[in-house]
Structure 1
Amino acid sequence: MRRVPILLCTALALASAGLAAAAPAAPVRAKAVVAMPVADHHQYVFSPAAAAFMSTATAALRPVTAQELIPQLDAAGIERAAVLSVAYVYGQPLRSLDEEYRRVRAENDWAARQAAEYPDRLVALCSVDPLKKYALAELARCAANPEFGRGIKLQPAAGGIVLDDEAQVDQVRRVFRSANARGMTILLQLRGTGAEQARLLIEQLLPHAPDVPVQVAYTGEADDSPQQAALAVLADAAARQDPRMRQVWFDVTAFARPGLSQADARHLVRRMRQVGMDRVLYGSDTVIGADQRPQEAWAAFRNLPLTDAEAARVASNVMSYLR
């Protein structure tokens, strides 16, 4: 796939006329201008039905379509994007739903139809709550449907997996094994999870998907200390070259939000360097219903104390389901 080039510009230091007469001005070192990312690994589309379901009395959401997303990508100079289905939300335990699985299938199919309108730009990833009994059936259905990309977003609608519930852990293991057998990238959304959840991922889940990429993503809650603790555990494992981390990629751009303190920014960059910039992905991860655009999300990411070479490396990284 064509890559967006990294442009270089040269700035020359101009001395005053008197000083220039005495000695020639020394050129300033060339400064790299990092292009926008080739791909956005974390965008959403959602149907009118899903928008109504996720709306509350104080926050009404509207549908998000591919037709709206494409101009945002164009403005940012981003070529490709993964559009993630929000079908998993129908698994929320606090809501009583008739025909829950039917609604999950319908939302996943709606996302696929949106991506199909721009097949050269968008790839749809279906989603499912991995704790649901129908998770394996939906994974198999998505894997067999060419309208979906070779990946699936797994996110427990309740926010996480209960560590001391062996039945829950075993269910997610089965989903990991099924994705591995079908060659599907796993996009795992971590939310409200801490260090123990990260250890669960390393010790009990990753060994069951050794042959496929696992993209670990975070929510937009940049100051969420449990998520920071989870990132620390995973980054430490990557730094010591734990073989179970061999195919793990990190979508950490959700942490890089406007207003991030300098101390937190330095801490995040240290973790990214532990992981290695060749395994850090850009994803806007725009909060559903918010106004932040891909261009603004990348600008926030560029405010991190990264070198130009590091930012350029992240900008050029592309997961296999988007190639």
Structure 2
Amino acid sequence: MRRLSVLLCGILAASHGLVSAAPAVPGAPMADHQQYVYSPAAAAFMSSSTITLRPVSAQDVIPQLDAAGIARAAVLSVAYVYGQPVRSQDEEYERVRAENDWAARQAGEYPERLVALCSVDPLKDYALAELARCAASPEFGRGIRLQPAAGGVMLDDPEQVERLRRVFRSANARRMAIVLQLRETGTREARLLIDQLLPHAPDVPVQVAYAGEREAAPQLAGLAVLADAAARQDPRMRQVWVDVTAFARPGLSAADARRLVRRLRQVGMERVLYGSDAAVGVDVRPREAWAAFRSLPLTDAEAARVANNVMSYLR
């Protein structure tokens, strides 16, 4: 019923010239939980002497979704990048706010299709202020994207861990879902998440994704920590969802595919989310990313369960 209502909304909006409707594709996921947009300023900031990035707008994202038959997507701001130590600069917080607002305007062009999530480096002094600002604005979805690894978080530094706790507590108080991106070497981070962060956000969904290159082994090691906790029915895992973006890639070995499926089954397919990361990983579009996910040794029922999972900030 939810899939039907979303598609009908898109069709009605398209008939009034408001938004393009995603074409029906059998078995397509209802939502893409990890798309990105970034402004010309952010594209220039993230470029280097060897890599030149171009801006990514909502008008770039929508055709990708249409080709995959996906009705809805979260577009994640990249404002957190301004907090990276290697990129320290003047007027940092102003740039963070401007990038978050740019992402919100992009989603506003297709309100029936896109929801913008602001982002912030959780270690920064302004992190709580930006979270509160985003939570109060109707232009943003009810979630915030955090990537502490990008800010150089030190797991053995009690002060930095406490800063993360404060952000978790603030998100929980404002009923903001947390999209947390862990590093490729996520074993220690996964334990930190379970032991020291999840208890401070017991009432909101926490979407865990992995960042990094195509190496599956380190990511699977981090996922194993979460999966084992879920299998033990650890109450701290009650609101945790696993984003399979990092794994929805062609070329995963058969052995790693079997390991991944075993871990996802431990987590529970009802808490596995599809995402494509397509605007950043331009070599893999949503259609191809979903095809790669469907190549995993899942049953049709399991794949359908994942296709129909939608986080609260996209409903």
Query: Is the CA contact (8 Å cut-off) linking 2:61 and 2:279 kept in structure 1?
Result: no
Q: Secondary structure at the match of 2:2?
A: coil
Query: Is the CA contact (8 Å cut-off) linking 1:61 and 1:289 kept in structure 2?
Result: no
Residues 212-255 of structure 1, C-alpha deviation per residue, up to 9 Å, x if partnerless? 00000112533153322211100100111100000000002321
Tell me how far apart the structure 1 counterparts of residues 98 and 281 of structure 2 sit (CA, whole Å). 21
Tell me how far apart the structure 1 counterparts of residues 149 and 130 of structure 2 sit (CA, whole Å). 15
Query: Is the CA contact (8 Å cut-off) linking 1:219 and 1:285 kept in structure 2?
Result: no
Question: Which residue of structure 2 aligns with residue 320 of structure 1?
Answer: 312
Using the TM superposition, name which of 290-299 and 280-289 deviates more: 280-289
Question: Which residue of structure 2 aligns with residue 65 of structure 1?
Answer: 57
1:297 aligns with 2:254: no
Question: Which residue of structure 2 aligns with residue 113 of structure 1?
Answer: 105
Query: Is the CA contact (8 Å cut-off) linking 1:217 and 1:251 kept in structure 2?
Result: yes
1:215 aligns with 2:207: yes
Residues 185-232 of structure 1, C-alpha deviation per residue, up to 9 Å, x if partnerless? 000001143322111100100000000000001125331533222111
The 1:238–1:157 alpha-carbon spacing in structure 2 relative to 1, beyond 3 Å, is: closer
1:273 aligns with 2:278: no
TM-score, with normalisation over the residues of structure 1? 0.88
Q: Secondary structure at the match of 1:292?
A: coil
Question: Which residue of structure 2 aligns with residue 204 of structure 1?
Answer: 196
The 1:61–1:289 alpha-carbon spacing in structure 2 relative to 1, beyond 3 Å, is: farther
Over the matched positions of the two proteins, sequence identity in percent amounts to: 80
Of 179, 182, 186, the residue aligned with 1:190 is 182
What's the Cα RMSD here?
Answer: 1.6
Tell me how far apart the structure 1 counterparts of residues 258 and 149 of structure 2 sit (CA, whole Å). 31
Tell me how far apart the structure 1 counterparts of residues 189 and 206 of structure 2 sit (CA, whole Å). 15
Alignment of 1:137-286 (within 5 A): 137-156=129-148, 158=150, 161-219=153-211, 221-286=213-278
Question: Which residue of structure 2 aligns with residue 29 of structure 1?
Answer: none
Tell me how far apart the structure 2 counterparts of residues 69 and 192 of structure 1 sit (CA, whole Å). 25
Tell me how far apart the structure 2 counterparts of residues 220 and 82 of structure 1 sit (CA, whole Å). 20
Q: Secondary structure at the match of 2:194?
A: helix
Q: Give the superposition deviation at 1:306.
A: 0.6
Question: Which residue of structure 2 aligns with residue 22 of structure 1?
Answer: none
Query: Is the CA contact (8 Å cut-off) linking 2:216 and 2:252 kept in structure 1?
Result: no
Q: Which amino acid aligns with 1:286?
A: A
Question: Which residue of structure 2 aligns with residue 18 of structure 1?
Answer: none
1:2 aligns with 2:2: yes
Q: Secondary structure at the match of 2:160?
A: helix
Tell me how far apart the structure 2 counterparts of residues 155 and 302 of structure 1 sit (CA, whole Å). 27
TM-score, with normalisation over the residues of structure 2? 0.90
Tell me how far apart the structure 1 counterparts of residues 124 and 156 of structure 2 sit (CA, whole Å). 17
Tell me how far apart the structure 1 counterparts of residues 295 and 4 of structure 2 sit (CA, whole Å). 21
Q: Which amino acid aligns with 1:236?
A: D
Q: Which amino acid aligns with 1:267?
A: R
Q: Give the superposition deviation at 1:285.
A: 1.7
Larger proportion of helix = 2
Tell me how far apart the structure 2 counterparts of residues 250 and 205 of structure 1 sit (CA, whole Å). 16
Query: Is the CA contact (8 Å cut-off) linking 1:180 and 1:211 kept in structure 2?
Result: yes
Query: Is the CA contact (8 Å cut-off) linking 1:112 and 1:125 kept in structure 2?
Result: yes
Q: Which amino acid aligns with 1:245?
A: M
Using the TM superposition, name which of 300-309 and 177-186 deviates more: 300-309
Query: Is the CA contact (8 Å cut-off) linking 1:153 and 1:187 kept in structure 2?
Result: yes
How many residues are aligned here? Answer: 296
Q: Secondary structure at the match of 1:299?
A: helix
Tell me how far apart the structure 2 counterparts of residues 164 and 220 of structure 1 sit (CA, whole Å). 21
Tell me how far apart the structure 1 counterparts of residues 142 and 228 of structure 2 sit (CA, whole Å). 28
Query: Is the CA contact (8 Å cut-off) linking 1:4 and 1:38 kept in structure 2?
Result: no
Tell me how far apart the structure 1 counterparts of residues 209 and 100 of structure 2 sit (CA, whole Å). 19
The 1:94–1:160 alpha-carbon spacing in structure 2 relative to 1, beyond 3 Å, is: closer
Query: Is the CA contact (8 Å cut-off) linking 2:37 and 2:279 kept in structure 1?
Result: no
Query: Is the CA contact (8 Å cut-off) linking 1:235 and 1:271 kept in structure 2?
Result: yes
Of 292, 307, 311, the residue aligned with 2:299 is 307
Alignment of 1:86-125 (within 5 A): 86-125=78-117
Q: Give the superposition deviation at 1:162.
A: 1.3
Bigger Rg, which one: 1
